[in-house]
Amino acid sequence: MVLLICCANNSFAQDKERLAIKEHINKLSANNMEGRGYVRKGSEKAAIYLQNQFEKIGLFPINPDSTFVQFYYFGVNTFPDNMKLVVKNKSFLPGHDFLVDASSSSFQAEDTRVTTVNLKNIKDSAGWAQTKARFQAGKTYYLKNIDSFYTRLSIPPRKLASLLSDACYIIPVKGKMTWTVGTDTIPATVLYVQDSVLPRNIKKASVSIRSLLQPNYRNANLIGYVPGTVRDSFIVFTAHYDHLGRMGSAIFPGASDNASGTAMILHLAEHFRRHPQRYSIAFIAFSGEEAGLKGSDYFVKNPLIPLANIKFLTNIDIMGDARDGITVVNATEYPDQFQLLQDINKEHNYVPEVKSRGKAKNSDHYHFTEAGVPSIFIYANGGKGYYHDIFDKAGELTMTNVVNVSKLLIDFTVQLNNK
C-alpha cells in the first residue's frame, strides 16, 4: 500500500511539473506572441513575458542597472503585410503552399506574364551566366527542373536566391519547406512553392510581396541568477526564446524550437530558486538565435558574467519530446561531463539514451565554446519533425520524458556543484 501511495504521489508530481512546463510553452507559442519575431513586436512581447517570469520566480538581476535585460541591435528583413500569390485563379496560402525567401525584396504585379525557364539544359556556369543575362527587372519567371540544376552547378538552394537579379522567381519545392530569418535584402523576390499545388503550365500570376528592412532592430537578452555560497562562480543554463515570427499572415509558433527549451530553463530556475547550490546558477534567455546566434555572440563579446567565472554552461534547444532520449553536442569535447550525464541516466533510467555528438555551431553554446567556456548543447530526440514551419505548435508536442530530462539536468548540476 505504501509503495502504491508513493508511486501515485510521484506520478502526480510529474504530471504537475509537465503541465507547468507545457503552460510556458503554450504561452510563448500562442498567436499573440506573433512567432516571437520581428513583426508586431513579437520578440518584445516574449521578452516581457520572460522578465515577468524571472521576477515571479525570484531570480536576481545581474545587470549593474538591476534589470534582467541586455539590449543590442541588428538588421532584419521583415514581411509585415498580407501577401498574395495567385496562379490560374488559385490563391496560395503563405506558409502552407509557399514561402518567400527571407531576404527577398518587395514585388507587386497583377496578372503578369510568367516566363518558364527550363534549367534542365544548363550544364555549366557559362550556360547559367547566359541565362541570367536574359532576366529582366520587374518580370516574373518560373524556374523549372531546378533540383538537378542545384546538383550540376553545386549551388545550394538558398545561395541561388542571392545570385538572382531584381525580378520575381517562382521555384518549385518538393517535400518539407523550412523558413528562416533574413538579416539583409537581395535584389530578387523568390517564392518557394510546393510542387504539388502548382499547375503544369503557368502562364500568368498575381504577386504582392512587401518586405521591410529594419536595419537597427532592438533585441533583448534576459539574464537572472540564483546566488550560491560561492557567489562569483557560475553554472549557466541558456536557451533562445526567439523564433521566426510572421511572414505576412503566416505565423511560425516555434513551440518545439524553442519555446520548449525556454520553458525548461524557467522550470530549472524555479527548482534552483528553492534549492540553491554551492555555485551561483544563472539563466540566460537569448534572442537572435535564428538570425545567426546574434544574442549569444553579443553576450560573449559583452559578458555580464565574466566568462572565466563560468564553471559550466548547458544550452537547451528543442525539448518538447524526448521519447528517444537526448543528444549532447560537444560531448566529445567534454568527455568527463558527458560521462557524468550517462552515469546519472544509467542509475535513474531517466531517458532511453544519452547520445554523443561532436562540435557544432548549431545553437547558442557555440560562441561560449569558442571563447573557452566549457559548454554543451542538449536537444531532445523525438517528435513529429515540425521545424521552422507553421506546424510547430504546442499541441503537437507530447512532452514525453521532458520532466525526466529536467531531473537529469538537476542531478547533473548538483554533482557539478560537488566537484
Residue by residue, DSSP assigns 242-299 as ---EEETTEEE--IIIIIHHHHHHHHHHHHHHHS--SEEEEEEEES-STTTSHHHHHH
DSSP 226: E
Nearest-CA neighbor of 378 among 331, 332, 345, 344?
A: 331
The total number of residues shown for the chain amounts to: 419
| Separate counts of helices (H) and strands (E) for the chain | 10, 19
At 299, the pLDDT band (50, 70, 90 cuts) reads: very high
What are 84's three cell numbers?
A: 498574395
Provide the pLDDT for residue 410: 98
Q: What angle do CA 410, 412, 413 make, to 5 degrees?
A: 65
CA distance to 1, 87, 127, 183, 315, per residue, from 258 (Å): 41, 35, 43, 20, 11
The residue type of 306 is P
With a cut of 90, say whether residue 231 has pLDDT above it: no
Provide the pLDDT for residue 200: 85
CA–CA gap between residue 104 and residue 279 (Å, rounded): 47
CA distance to 54, 79, 81, 252, per residue, from 249 (Å): 31, 9, 7, 10
For 315, residues 6+ apart whose C-beta sits below 8 A from its C-beta are 237, 238, 239, 363, 364, 365, 368, 375, 376, 377, 378
Instruction: Please say whether the beta carbons of 290 and 36 come within 8 A.
Output: no
CA distance to 2, 205, 206, per residue, from 112 (Å): 76, 5, 6
| Minimum mean pLDDT range among 46-55, 68-77, 143-152, 161-170 | 143-152
The residue type of 116 is T
With a cut of 80, say whether residue 11 has pLDDT above it: no
Cβ neighbour number for residue 77 with a 10 Å cutoff: 24
Report the share of the chain in percent with pLDDT over 90: 91
Provide the pLDDT for residue 65: 82
Instruction: Please say whether the beta carbons of 211 and 184 come within 8 A.
Output: no
Provide the pLDDT for residue 10: 65
Provide the pLDDT for residue 135: 96
Q: What is the mean pLDDT of residues 396-400?
A: 97
**pTM for the predicted model, two decimal places:** 0.95
Provide the pLDDT for residue 64: 80
For 251, residues 6+ apart whose C-beta sits below 8 A from its C-beta are 31, 34, 35, 95, 245, 390
Mean pLDDT of the chain: 95
Nearest-CA neighbor of 368 among 409, 331, 313, 412?
A: 313
pLDDT (tens digit, 9 = 90+) per residue, 248-286? 999 999 999 999 999 999 999 999 999 999 999 999 999
Give the chain's domains with CATH numbers: 18-77+215-417 (3.40.630.10), 83-209 (3.50.30)
Cβ neighbour number for residue 109 with a 10 Å cutoff: 19
pLDDT (tens digit, 9 = 90+) per residue, 334-359? 999 999 999 999 999 999 999 999 99
Instruction: Please say whether the beta carbons of 352 and 325 come within 8 A.
Output: yes
Cβ neighbour number for residue 23 with a 10 Å cutoff: 13
With a cut of 70, say whether residue 288 has pLDDT above it: yes
Instruction: Please say whether the beta carbons of 311 and 282 come within 8 A.
Output: no
Provide the pLDDT for residue 21: 98
Instruction: Please say whether the beta carbons of 136 and 167 come within 8 A.
Output: yes
For 223, residues 6+ apart whose C-beta sits below 8 A from its C-beta are 61, 62, 63, 68, 70, 282, 283, 284, 285, 299, 304, 305
Provide the pLDDT for residue 279: 98
DSSP 177: -
3-class SS at 62?
coil
Provide the pLDDT for residue 1: 58
